[in-house]
Structure 1
Amino acid sequence: MSFSDELEQVIGCSDLREQAPRADEEIPSVDFDPILENLAFFVAEAWKDDHPDTHLQSTADFNCCVEYVTAEMAKAGAAVGGPAGLEILTGGGSIAACKVCRRVLSSASPIASIAVLDHP
């Protein structure tokens, strides 16, 4: 399953552009932060698995993780479009990448990362 497919599944719609509200409808507020962090977590874990000698203390490792996760999130945001894509492409993907890469790089194992992610 691709990252954009996973984003569509989490959000619950394959094309959010088709669901634009009418002028007389109020637009519901959606907190995308936890959703984006959960999606970024899997990408960051995959990056860490491919780079087993990384350390949180290394600015270069942290920056590489954030760059990779942000790029993957941007691809998914462009593919999905709509409000979720806009949130990702206007900084939500980068913010989620920073938070999650810090958590993932500071963990000793994937189980510890999940525990940190589950408890804000």
Structure 2
Amino acid sequence: MFYYPEVLRRHTGCFGTIWLAATCSSRLLRREYMGVDVPRVCATLLSFVQGRGLGSAAPPPPGFGPPRCSLYLAALLQLGLARVYRRQCGHLLEEVSLTLERLHRARPPPNIDVSPPRR
């Protein structure tokens, strides 16, 4: 086996959310997308692909060396990470747009009519 199944578990694995984002993104909720720390997961994924282990994410089972990864799994995890980042940016853009729209509606429009003596 090219990976440990523990790293792909949904709630306890360090790559569970990005694995689900790569394979079946319709099952994830907004809070699961927003709960991913993209820079930390990138660093963990890089060390996982290079075979240096998972750092502090999950120790390997006893009797095994550092976890290894197939190129297919690495590509899927990178795809999932890109999808998670895209969704996070989309949610941020949506929140900013809604906030600007609310601010625009809350403030009355300026009076731009010129008074008759100043015409």
TM-score relative to the length of structure 2: 0.30
Of structures 1 and 2, the larger Rg is shown by 2
Of structures 1 and 2, the one scoring higher in RCO (CA 8 A, sep 6+) is 1
TM-score (norm. length: structure 1): 0.30
